[in-house]
Amino acid sequence: MKRYIGLVHHPIINKNGEIVTTSVTNLDIHDIARSARTYGFDGYFIITPLEEQHKLVTRILDHWNTDVGNAYNPDRQDALSFVELKNSVEDACSEIERREGSSPAIVVTGANFKDDSGQENAILKQIKLDKKPLFLLFGTGWGLAQSVIDRADFMAPPLAGKAKDGYNHLSVRSAVAIYCDRFTQYID
């Protein structure tokens, strides 16, 4: 099953529930690229409409894609080589459709979902039946905006913590790695 990851920076909600555009975090570029590469994903889209952010991310990617960066850490360069920038979730979906010949099944993630689409293997079973690529979407800030969640095909079951006081604040990088492992164990 072809599979892609998207990290959304707009539309995102902030702590006041307002729709905002978050800035790209350098660590998210590197760490999520490495998780995606490790688990055999076919692409990682960094989604932001801000031209300035595109320039920033491109500068970082260019650094690692040069001979210097490659010589210093070829594994890092290898992971970063399939990071791409897109202005919107729609643009990323169009790119996936162009490559795979089918629009992707969007699976959104969030810590505060009140309900979900069932366990990862059940979600994947349906996606396989639909013969669609998987597109795992992650948020930033305080989570994905409702408009993104509403247009998704599936809602992944939130990662439930074990903290007795209910503390559950994973970084998106950690959440990505956990979901990559959970979803790919059901993908041959």
Rule CB under 6 A: is residue 56 a binding residue for ligand SAM? no
Footprint on residues 166-185 left by ligand SAM (CB under 6 A): 168, 170, 172, 175
- Cβ atoms of residues 92 and 6 within 8 Å: yes
Query: Alpha-carbon distance 9 to 11, whole Å?
Result: 6
Is 6 one of the binding residues for ligand SAM (CB under 6 A)? no
- When binding is defined by CB under 6 A, the residue of 2, 109, 177, 180 that contacts ligand SAM is 109
Among the candidate windows 36-44, 62-70, 87-95, 133-141, which touches ligand SAM by CB under 6 A?
133-141
CB closer to ligand SAM, 80 vs 175: 175
The whole-angstrom separation of Cα 137 and Cα 8 is 7
Triad 56, 57, 59: Cα angle to 5°: 65
DSSP letter for 144, please: B
Phi, psi of 90 (to 5 degrees): -60, -45
Cβ–Cβ under 8 Å, residues 32 and 173? yes
**Mask: binding to ligand SAM, 62-101, rule CB under 6 A, as x and -?**
----------------------------------------
Residue 64 vs 142, nearer CB to ligand SAM: 142
Q: What is the distance of C-alpha 43 from the center of its chain?
A: 10
Q: How far is the CB of 172 from ligand SAM (least distance, A)?
A: 4
Q: Which residues bind ligand SAM (CB under 6 A)?
A: 109-112, 138-140, 142-144, 158-159, 168, 170, 172, 175
